[in-house]
Amino acid sequence: MKKIKLFLALIVLILIGAVIYQNWSFFSEKHALSLDLFLASWRWTTSEIQNIVYWGGCLVIGILIAGFLGIGSKLKSNKNIKALNATIESHLKMISSLKNELEAFRNDPYKKAPEKKEIV
């Protein structure tokens, strides 16, 4: 399975590289971003940056967001696993105590065997 994942990741990287290579003129163009909040004196503009920097920044931000969400779900899963393991331990202790109780009743020398009734 690891080899298949590695192979698919390699194919995806090759396809991304091909898209970037074939559209290099677009990615190398420079553009400035601007933000206008429709206030009379407030307008913000960045310096001109290549499109590939914007795309790379968006990719990094997306990976970080996905990573943080993944860490959150992993921590929730670990919390649930700990709770379930604690439940398992308590159930195993209960089973052990019940087995000990059962052995005590089985080994009781004063316990009478059940009498068999004959039907006539």
**pLDDT value of position 33:** 85
Residues in the chain: 120
pTM: 0.56
Give the whole-angstrom CA distance, residue 32 versus residue 50: 9
**pLDDT value of position 35:** 85
Residues 6+ apart with CB under 8 A from 26: 51
Q: Where are the domains of the chain?
A: 67-107
64-81 residue pLDDT tens: 999 999 998 999 999 999
For residue 114, pLDDT over 70 is answered with no
**pLDDT value of position 45:** 86
6-43 residue pLDDT tens: 999 999 999 999 998 999 999 899 988 888 887 777 88
Task: At 33, give phi and psi (nearest 5°).
Answer: -95, 145
